[in-house]
Amino acid sequence: MNLENYYPERVFHYFTEISKIPRCSGNEKAISDYLVDFAKKHNLFVYQDESNNILIRKKASEGYEKYESICLQGHMDMVCDKNKDVEFDFCNSPINIYVEDGYIKARGTTLGADNGISVAICLSILESDTIKHPALEILLTTDEEVSMSGAENFDVNKLESKILVNIDSEEYGSIYVSSAGCSAVSSSYVITSNKSDISNIYEVELTGLLGGHSGADIHENTANANNFLANLLFKLSYMKELKLISINGGSKNNTIPREASAKFVSEASFSEIKKALDLFKDSIAFRYVESEKLENIKLEVREIKNENYSYLSTKDTKDLLAYIVNHPTGVIRKSNEIEGLIQTSTNLGILETRELEDKKEFYFNSLVRSSKTEEQRYVVDYLLDYAKNNKAKGEILDFAAPWEYKEESKVREYFKKVFFEQNGYEPRILAIHAGLECGIFAEKNADLDIISIGPDIKNPHTPDEKMSLEAVKNTWEYLIKILEGYKID
């Protein structure tokens, strides 16, 4: 679709262009090279590091040379997720964009507005010969959505700016000044499996949950499909004998899983299994009556043929299901300092069954978030101890510190002032439970003055992701007014 019929035209031009380029986390070389080519075409300084991070510089407009330079920052990668019934190749196919009811959406996949809109805005500013501005640095990082390894690996000493504006928050009219730290923790639960002639093999599939961003949406109390399905089977295991073959759910640790499936063996009949699971589904779903669309939650049960499956014993099945059911996921603590802020949470985002020679490995990947470093470390340690005490092996995959609030900030006060002049009301000064790269940059250079802004993006990290056309327009005009009236020195 051609978005250039919508204002600001060049922003939507570049958003369309980068939506054609593969940029799933960990696969950013093509988009990184595109940015290098863009900079060279416009005769701008460009630096590409070994992690494919990009730093572009543009000299100050005439009359703005004496003011401090400013860095606009975002990330080039996106969460790549799709509905189960959609066939889509994120490595080769452009995102199928369309506009509906004032929002840009994608058909059956994530949109990539998080954080493609930042890239599009930055490129539009860089190409302009009419926008007045101080010396500009544009920093676009890789792998933000998985581990923030791009920001971790970037040499912050390359930055000449002491002011950094992150364009990766998702609510116009808000200036974010603090974000949660993130830690990915995995565990591996290995169990001996059995093989013999079996019958009465069943597959159960849970779909229709809302899911969401494991930081921005965790307070909504939407159901975690991994926990939900494990609860169903755990209840069933005390009513009918079960021997688990596999259980899988989720593909990203920063996304609340919407779907999960399992295979198991039972001597019970199909009708008995179906009746019990439907009953338990309704019982568990009622916990989410205020946060889920209960009519959309589907549980499909089917008999399947014997394909030489291996399976767990009934005892090991119960032990594993208990491990999943009791594995922490969701909100842990709310902040006592900032009203409405979730302070600490964890998300059991990935559950995967892996076949070994005569064993099965059940792999778990959780993302811990906290605005308090001490509490973040405590929850990480708890998950490691939880794994160890259940004869599983835990591992810390990465650790990013929180971005803590600063009492004094020149850039925050300037952005507040301009927002009020433009809109006639004060912006909200907020902290966010999601992780932003701001924390990494602040930890590396305590002298950086940092804020985060962005347009309205709903349901990020899911195929329901959508971005407001009006909010993009407002964010663009806000940034241009910021740059043209810039007098920070």
The pLDDT assigned to 324 comes to 98
Q: Which of 24-33, 212-221, 414-423 has the lowest mean pLDDT?
A: 212-221
Is residue 155 among the annotated active site residues? no
Give 18-28 pLDDT, tens digit per residue.
999 999 999 99
Q: Which of 77, 145, 168, 316 is catalytic?
A: 77
Is residue 168 among the annotated active site residues? no
For the whole model, what pTM was predicted?
0.75
182-400 maps to which CATH number?
Answer: 3.30.70.360
Q: Which residue, chain included where needed, has tokens 């860089």?
A: 126
Residue 246 has pLDDT above 90, yes or no: yes
Domain boundaries, the chain: 3-172+403-484, 182-400
* Residue 129: C-alpha distances to residues 70, 72, 295, 471 (Å): 18, 18, 53, 24
3-172+403-484 maps to which CATH number?
Answer: 3.40.630.10
Residue 401 has pLDDT above 90, yes or no: no
List own/partner pairs for 468-471 with CB under 8 A and 24 or more apart.
468/102, 468/103, 468/172, 469/6, 469/99, 469/102, 469/103, 469/104, 470/102, 471/172
Sign for the pseudo-dihedral over CA of 101, 106, 110, 114? negative
Q: Which of 144, 259, 316, 437 is catalytic?
A: 144
Q: Cα(418)–Cα(142) distance, rounded to whole angstroms?
A: 31
Residue 218 has pLDDT above 80, yes or no: yes
Half-sphere CA count of 296, side-chain side, radius 13 A: 14
The pairing of beta strand 342-355 with beta strand 359-370: antiparallel
Give 248 or 443, the one with higher predicted confidence: 248
Q: Cα(168)–Cα(292) distance, rounded to whole angstroms?
A: 27
Residue 1 has pLDDT above 80, yes or no: no
Q: Cα(207)–Cα(229) distance, rounded to whole angstroms?
A: 10
Mean pLDDT score of the chain: 94
Give 44-61 pLDDT, tens digit per residue.
999 999 999 999 999 999
Percentage, residues of the chain above pLDDT 70: 100
Give 269-310 pLDDT, tens digit per residue.
999 999 999 999 999 998 999 999 999 999 999 999 877 899
The pLDDT assigned to 387 comes to 97
Contact 411, 451 (CB under 8 A): yes
Confidence of residue 434 (pLDDT cuts 50, 70, 90): confident
The pLDDT assigned to 105 comes to 97
Q: Cα(180)–Cα(439) distance, rounded to whole angstroms?
A: 8
